[in-house]
Amino acid sequence: MEFPDLGAHCSEPSCQRLDFLPLKCDACSGIFCADHVAYAQHHCGSAYQKDIQVPVCPLCNVPVPVARGEPPDRAVGEHIDRDCRSDPAQQKRKIFTNKCERTGCRQREMMRLTCERCGRNFCIKHRHPLDHDCSGEGHPTSLAGLAAISRAQGLASTSTIPSPSRTLPSSTSPSR
């Protein structure tokens, strides 16, 4: 051979090809052929020092800062949940806006669940008057409610049907 010192073998254990134009990895300083010079191709352990990418939010096109060693997908997900200025992300945060008014409950609902007696908003768990210690009085009871009350008191007869506008005192209202 005329040039015995020309070229170098690829540092990738599975390759070991003699390359006459070898390339040096700028992260780990290994010598590689053109097929294995990329960080991913030779599984470079020092790639995190050189291969720094700043992800961009797909909704608002703003660069999202990522701490070293943190996956970019997680950082973009947290950005969308907290800081994203796009319409879909803001609408997502504003869906559950109806807070339960019972003391100690922090539940939020998508729809308003207003108590018929006191007119306050509650979650599904506290929507019934007995579940939130309802303070509202004097609101008319429905026809079905009056019929149930009268049957419970033994006053129901086939000839007398109470009018729907009649209200009963709270002491005669049945408990669940």
Question: pLDDT digit string (tens) for 6-36?
Answer: 888 898 888 888 888 888 988 888 999 989 8
Query: At the topology level of CATH, where does 96-133 sit?
Result: Zf-an1 domain (4.10.1110)
Do domains 7-51 and 96-133 share one topology? The answer is yes
CATH topology of domain 7-51: Zf-an1 domain (4.10.1110)
When mean pLDDT is compared across 14-28, 111-125, 153-167, the lowest value belongs to 153-167
Residue 32 pLDDT: 92
Specify the pTM.
Answer: 0.31
Q: How far apart are CA 161 and CA 157, in angstroms?
A: 8
8 Å CB contact between 134 and 117:
yes
Contacts (Cβ under 8 Å, ≥6 apart) of 5: none
Over the stretch 45-77, which tens digit does the pLDDT of each residue have?
877 667 677 889 988 889 998 887 777 888 888
Neighbour-count burial of 75, counting CB atoms closer than 10 A to its CB (0-12 exposed, 13-18 middle, 19+ buried): middle
Written as one string, the DSSP assignment of the chain is ---TTS-EE-S-TTT--EESS-EE-TTT--EE-TTT-STTTTT-TTHHHH-----B-TTT--B----TTS-HHHHHHHHHHHT--SHHHHHHHTS--EE--STT---EESS--B-TTT--B--STT-STTTTT-----PPPPHHHHHHHHHHHT---SS----TT----GGGSPP-
CA atoms lying within 13 Å on the CB side of residue 41: 14
C-alpha 100/C-alpha 114 separation (Å) is 10
Query: Domain-by-domain residue ranges, the chain?
Result: 7-51, 52-95, 96-133
Position 176 pLDDT exceeds 80: no
